[in-house]
């Protein structure tokens, strides 16, 4: 079992938490979901800019124009959001509990980063007020290429630390860390374990909207 490292109060890194077999199965599941009947897409956000990831939401759809959750993808193609698979819900509670927290996830944002993938500094704050007030964590699972993950404070201008998220890592941030700014400055191409047959990086963030 991998050690749990406390990065900051409420922020726990479970390094190499997932076995290679689990990573392989998740990579395959993510691929199938992203190329499924309701496919992943590159969101265009409020200011008109394109994100630098391909995204697919499960359970609830995050609308990049309104920064709210909805059941159909009104900012893109109007399709209904696919259900959150049970194994991902179970994975989220397992990771949360390994980090000393609880989570009954009802949505997942699945992102794929190719060699140029990145994500600007932001807060995850579009879940329900109750969920955020309770400090219910976000469980972030990384599969594939290593990422340079930036983890800041509660204000955008606060200092930022750089963490490395490797394939199989789970990063859990809840309680006092729930609203900390974070982002991905880059991925490191060709670092995914060969056994995954994966190009790039998948990241799953599992969250609980309803409390
Ligand atoms: C996110 O903050 O939504 C994604 C973080 C990551 O890709 O590690
Ligand atoms: Mn986020």
pLDDT per position as a tens digit, 34-58: 999 999 999 999 989 999 999 999 9
pLDDT at 165: 98
3-state secondary structure of 52: strand
Q: Per-residue pLDDT tens for 129-174?
A: 999 999 999 999 999 999 999 999 999 999 999 999 999 999 999 9
What's the pTM?
0.97
- Residue ranges of alpha helices (H) inside 58-155 are 86-98, 129-133
Q: How far is CA 167 from CA 28, 57, 138, in A?
A: 14, 21, 18
Per residue in 54-84, pLDDT tens? 999 999 999 999 999 999 999 999 999 999 9
- Note the pLDDT of residue 3: 80
Q: Residue whose CA is closest, atom 7 of ligand 1? A: 203
pLDDT at 2: 65
pLDDT at 90: 98
What integer pLDDT is reported at residue 138 of this predicted model?
A: 98
* 104-130 pLDDT tens trace: 999 999 999 999 999 999 999 999 999
CA of 20 to the centre of ligand 2 (A): 25
Cβ–ligand 1 distance for 140 under 6 Å, the answer yes
Instruction: With CA atoms as reference, report the closest residue to 202 among 146, 157, 151, 143.
Output: 143
């Amino acid at each position: 079992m991998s050690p749990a490292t406390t990065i900051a109060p409420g922020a726990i890194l479970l390094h190499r938490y997932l076995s290679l077999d689990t990573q392989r199965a998740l990579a395959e599941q993510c691929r199938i979901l992203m190329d499924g009947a309701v496919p992943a897409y590159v969101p265009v956000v409020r200011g008109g800019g394109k994100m630098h990831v391909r995204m697919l939401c499960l359970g609830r759809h995050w609308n990049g124009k309104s920064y709210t959750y909805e059941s159909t993808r009104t900012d893109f193609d109007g399709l209904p959001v696919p259900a959150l698979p049970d194994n991902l819900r179970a994975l989220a509670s397992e990771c949360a509990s390994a980090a000393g927290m609880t989570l009954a996830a009802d949505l997942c944002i699945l992102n794929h980063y190719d060699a140029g993938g990145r994500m600007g500094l932001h807060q995850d704050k579009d879940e329900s007020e109750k969920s955020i007030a309770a400090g219910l964590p976000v469980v972030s699972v990384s599969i594939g290429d290593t990422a340079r993950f930036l983890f800041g404070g509660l204000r955008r201008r606060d200092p930022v630390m750089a963490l490395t998220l490797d394939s199989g890592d789970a990063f859990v941030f809840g309680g006092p860390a729930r609203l900390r700014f974070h982002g991905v400055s880059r991925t490191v191409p060709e670092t995914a374990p060969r056994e995954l047959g994966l190009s790039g990086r998948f990241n799953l963030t599992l969250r609980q909207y309803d409390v």
